[in-house]
């Protein structure tokens, strides 16, 4: 019965994806892709090559009744991933109400793959890294090479029912910002630890934008090989979810110093993003936690869309981090 039910799910998923695919190709001469393999029910729609500014789009079905599923995306550090899940699934053992990718906090006693994330929320994982929740549209900067996997946050997939449709947009970026050469910056004998708080954004921008810009900073810090990065997941473990969310509004230097001490970071970075017309005003500062001094400060106005702003920020961050090393070598 389980096998028949799974086949029915896959067939239903194929029909939905066929509609999505044909809608996207209406009026376009691009040939229709071959039918998906039943073992991996996905359609692929190409919208340009996987290069700067041209997204690669894949629409995949993630079954609630299966464990980790591979939608066929190999990621490289520096890629920008835009994940858009939709649909519902449910834990059917007790005929519970169907939920979307956000999952539910009601089933607190159910076994989960990631205990601190909602039960039955969508989870992502890059190769053997730590699973991360994808409770809605999520934009992230990939920090490590690897393969994307998706599943529900349920340790008992065999008793689940339904599926999510997940649209994944991959923007492959250059490995490093142009005209930012670290070879001229001596590597410290002892690498200073650094933490990056999520950026504060203006009211007309989604909070996830601030997280994405902070991820850019973390990626550049890792690429520089001049710092010991305290990753966001580690920050969450140290501060707890509520306290980490509060760092969003931490603007003044003393607040940054206080969080730096909690995180045991020697340097701490925070920024602010404001949208004015078709431009973004980005300001960032780096604070030395021990001396409570601002050791680097950068501000820039970037015209264009959000992706261009994120790309341009890499160069801004790179130069600011160079200022941190040159002005206060460890």
Tokens, residue 57 = 């789009």
Mean pLDDT score across all residues of the chain: 79
Burial label for 323, CB within 10 Å (0-12, 13-18, 19+), is middle
What are the pLDDT digits (tens) for 176-228? 445 567 888 888 889 999 999 989 988 888 878 888 889 889 989 988 999 99
CB 313, CB 213: distance < 8 Å: yes
pLDDT band at residue 29, thresholds of 50, 70 and 90? very low
Alpha carbon distance 91, 111 (integer Å): 11
Q: Which are the contacts of 161, defined by CB distance < 8 A and separation ≥ 6?
A: 5, 9, 64, 65, 89, 90, 92
Report which of residues 79 and 167 the model is more confident about.
167
What are the pLDDT digits (tens) for 57-85? 888 999 999 999 988 888 887 788 889 99
For the cut 70, the answer to whether the pLDDT of residue 155 exceeds it is yes
> Residue 132: what pLDDT?
93
For the cut 80, the answer to whether the pLDDT of residue 15 exceeds it is no
Q: What are phi and psi of 50, to 5 degrees?
A: -85, 75
Report which of residues 256 and 12 the model is more confident about.
256
Average pLDDT rounded to a whole number, residues 225-254: 83
Report which of residues 167 and 306 the model is more confident about.
167
The domains spanning 2-171 and 182-327 adopt the same CATH topology: no
Please tell us whether the domain made up of 2-171 is placed in CATH 1.10.10.10.
Answer: no
Of 5-14, 115-124, 168-177, 214-223, the poorest mean pLDDT is in 5-14
CB 113, CB 130: distance < 8 Å: no
Q: Which of 197, 278, 299 is nearest to 245 (CA)?
A: 197
Domain residue ranges of the chain, discontinuous segments joined by +: 2-171, 182-327
Q: Which are the contacts of 260, defined by CB distance < 8 A and separation ≥ 6?
A: 195, 266, 267, 268, 287, 289
> Into which CATH architecture does domain 182-327 fall?
3-Layer(aba) Sandwich (3.40)
CB 172, CB 76: distance < 8 Å: yes
> Residue 73: what pLDDT?
84
């Amino acid at each position: 019965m389980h096998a028949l039910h799974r086949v029915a799910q896959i067939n239903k998923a194929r029909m939905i994806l066929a509609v999505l695919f044909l809608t996207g190709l209406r009026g376009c001469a691009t040939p229709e892709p071959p039918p998906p393999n039943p073992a991996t029910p996905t359609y692929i729609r190409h919208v340009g090559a996987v290069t700067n500014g041209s997204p690669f789009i894949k629409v995949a079905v993630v079954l609630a009744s299966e464990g980790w599923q591979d939608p066929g995306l190999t990621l490289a550090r520096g890629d920008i991933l835009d994940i858009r899940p939709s649909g519902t699934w449910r834990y059917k053992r007790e005929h519970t109400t169907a939920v979307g990718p956000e999952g539910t906090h009601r089933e607190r006693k159910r076994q989960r793959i990631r205990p601190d994330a909602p039960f039955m929320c969508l989870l992502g994982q890059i190769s053997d890294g730590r699973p991360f929740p994808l409770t809605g549209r999520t934009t992230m900067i990939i920090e490590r090479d690897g393969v994307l996997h998706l599943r529900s946050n349920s340790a008992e997939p065999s008793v689940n029912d339904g599926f999510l449709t997940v649209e994944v947009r991959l923007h492959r970026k250059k490995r490093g910002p142009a005209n930012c050469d670290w070879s001229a910056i001596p590597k410290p004998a002892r690498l200073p630890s650094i933490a990056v708080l999520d950026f504060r954004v203006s009211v007309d921008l989604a909070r996830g934008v601030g997280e994405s810009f902070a991820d850019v900073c973390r990626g550049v810090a890792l690429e520089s090989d001049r710092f010991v990065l305290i990753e966001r997941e580690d920050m969450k473990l140290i501060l707890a979810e509520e306290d980490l969310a509060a760092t969003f509004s931490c603007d003044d230097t003393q607040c940054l110093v206080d969080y730096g001490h909690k995180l045991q970071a020697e340097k701490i970075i925070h920024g602010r993003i404001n949208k004015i017309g078709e431009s973004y005003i980005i300001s960032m500062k780096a604070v030395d936690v021990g001396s409570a001094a601002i050791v680097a400060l950068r501000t820039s106005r970037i015209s264009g869309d959000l992706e261009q702003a994120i790309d341009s920020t890499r160069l801004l961050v790179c130069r600011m981090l160079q200022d941190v090393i040159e002005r206060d070598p460890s």
